[in-house]
Amino acid sequence: MMAIRNLHPEELPLLDSFLYEAIFIPEGVSAPPRSIIESEDLQVYVRDFGRRPDDRCLVAEVDGKVVGIVWTRIMDDYGQVSQFVQKANYALRMYEKAGFWTVADRGEEMLMICKL
């Protein structure tokens, strides 16, 4: 049985796990150490999650097992959604079709934004 539900407080550590899984790793490149999620650049998305009034998280569950998580957090980011995307990431074209555009090229990755 499948269910979509709110994240339970005791499941907050799952955010770190799914944050790590969301890191794009190009083919032929070794995965970074799990400790990479401790960097401030990534912790901004999960640190103290649930304490801000606009933090929201939904969990996809199949047969009692969490198989997916989606979360949002309002950040002081000038009314836009921003993300870093590896140039080799197949989802890059999908983001462009969704209205994101590149504002900074950083070699292997690009900073993309979408105005809200």
Q: Could you report the per-residue pLDDT of 54-77, keeping only the tens digit for each?
A: 999 999 999 999 999 999 888 776
Q: What is the 3-state secondary structure (H, E, C) of 5-44?
A: EECCHHHCHHHHHHHHHCCCCCCCCCCCCHHHHHCHHHHC
| Bridge pairing between strands 80-86 and 65-72 | unpaired
* Digit-coded pLDDT (tens) for 9-51: 999 999 999 999 888 888 898 999 999 999 988 898 899 999 9
pTM of the complete model: 0.68
Banded pLDDT at 112 (limits 50, 70, 90): confident
The tokens for 18 are 């799914």
Domain boundaries, the chain: 1-73, 76-116
